[in-house]
Amino acid sequence: MTELLQQVRVIDPVSEIDELFDVLIADGYIQAVASRISDISSDTQIRDCQGLVLGPGLVDLYSHSGEPGFEERETLSSFLQAAAAGGFTRVNILPDTSPVIDNPALVAQLQQRREGQGGNFSPLSPPSPLSPPSPLSSPLPLLHLWGAITLDVAGKQMTELADLASAGVVGFTDGKPLENLALVQGVLEYLQPLGKPVAFWPSDRQLAANGVMREGPDALRFGLPPIPASAETTAIAALLELVATIGTPVHIMRVSTSRSVELIASAKAAGLPITASTTWMHLLLDTKAVKSYNTSLHLDPPLGNPSDVVALRAGVRAGVIDAIAIDHTPYSYEEKVQAFAEAPAGAIGFELALPLLWQHLVETEEFTALELWRALSSRAAECLGQKISAIVPDQPGELTLFDPQKIWKVERKSLYTLSQNTPWLGQQLKGHVVQTWC
């Protein structure tokens, strides 16, 4: 199949391009990119793309799948469909499934389910009781798995890291705080020769205690147990000391405070081999939003104070924070219908992130389109030691086509994910992904 995208706005952070072009795509490969393309075959499908945006496929560093173990929240099928509908061409599942992704057999099993012909899934992925909004025309994204660092809930025993690396995991993380610094040191030493990324979520759980909201005036006003910023910053400082001593590259997940941005900036200036990410909701909302007590605003780490949001946005623009992660965390309706402090932390995000980030950061001119796309695509891939191809001829078409003006409503019938835990449920959004190529 050959398609001509006429006068589409090409946003390519790899080539630093933001211009109008015609783009010819044939059988999944980019054939030509030019100001005007007229020499086409008679069977070429011509699409008027004025007002649309074409960029490299989006890459999500880490998100949660329900399957295996919690299929009522999300199956692999619904997870991948939601990611594709949100413009993602590569996704990476955290290992906190049930069972945990801590052995090569489970890695192989999950990979086989994904690689079923025609995107089919085994009977272990039950169909959704609610039909998705419409048949998904975009291909499913590439799926990678994070391997668990530890075997036990207490986080005291390492998995067989070399065996997991050989099984093809994208890298290693637990997706939860590791407070045993001796274990962290051992992991960094052991992983050096394996050449796989390792990601840590720095958080001191003793300092966080039973808190559910960032410490500050709003936490006092709303009467919710606070989490001090130091719960994150002290853990980051300790991790940076280990990296400085051992030298193993590390990715720092879920950065959420202004002081954390300062620590990471200083470490990068000193030459430490680190990358960092924040999540999309921490760039959009602050503690004032918690006034609604909507349990989809209960996140971990919690939403920051207004000064934290300012620092995180500046950090992304400056490249101190390399990437924006989605951290898609589905929960069932029953799990989230509790008091704010009792509900599990997390919110969905695949189908919402790009429209909301574009609306609140690009349309307001706080970010350029290139800055946003870079953090969601090419730099996210680089954090995993991967690359995204530029939008140039003779390259595979790993692409996302986005309509920044399309209005749609966030509701069950418009979402591919099985869960609905988002504070934007029932609201109208502007911006929707049209198609992906993968």
The residues annotated with a catalytic role in the active site are 327
What are the strands, taking DSSP E only, across 327-398? 395-396
Separation of alpha carbons 34 and 30, rounded Å = 11
Q: Which amino acid appears at position 28 of this protein?
A: G
Phi and psi torsions of 372, nearest 5° = -65, -50
Separation of alpha carbons 68 and 111, rounded Å = 12
Q: Which amino acid appears at position 204 of this protein?
A: D
Show the tokens assigned to 23: 């783009």
Separation of alpha carbons 275 and 384, rounded Å = 10
Separation of alpha carbons 438 and 149, rounded Å = 30
Give which of 67, 55, 63 is closest to 30, Cα–Cα.
55
Residue written as token pair 């560093």: 61
User: Exposed (0-12), middle (13-18) or buried (19+): which is 135, by Cβ within 10 Å?
Assistant: exposed
Task: List b or e across 423-438, with b for residues whose CB sees 16 or more CB atoms inside 10 angstroms.
Answer: bbbeeebebbbbbbbb
Q: Is the dihedral of CA 90, 96, 97, 103 positive or negative?
A: positive
Residue 203 near residue 255 (C-beta atoms within 8 A) = no
Plot region of 46 (φ>0 → left; ψ -120 to 50 → alpha; else → beta): beta
Q: Is the dihedral of CA 189, 249, 263, 278 positive or negative?
A: negative
